[in-house]
Amino acid sequence: MTISKKEAVEEILRKNTDGLTVIEISRSLKFSRNTVAVALAELKGEGAIRVREIGKAKLNYWNGGRK
């Protein structure tokens, strides 16, 4: 069974409780930044993640939304 790119982003955020930036996620999953940004926008819209801005960086955290 293959998982979607959105599910892969969700999984990495569940494992990393310290929060990750788009670049960190894209490098670890070997997805483009744009692909990760789209997945994060969908997850944010579902209320599954929260975003914390630190200067220019945005840290994404699993919020325990879905599932």
pLDDT for residue 2:
83
pLDDT at residue 7, rounded to an integer: 95
Joined tokens for residue 27? 């490098």
* pLDDT at position 65: 62
**pTM passes above 0.75:** yes
Interacting residues of 64 by C-beta distance below 8 A, sequence separation 6+: 48
Residue where the block lists tokens 């960086």: 57
Angle between helices 33-45 and 22-29 (to 10 degrees): 120
Which domains does the chain possess?
Answer: 5-62 (1.10.10.10)
Per-residue pLDDT 10s for the chain (67 aa) are 688 999 999 999 999 999 999 999 999 999 999 999 999 999 999 999 999 999 999 999 998 765 4
Residue 66 has a pLDDT of 53
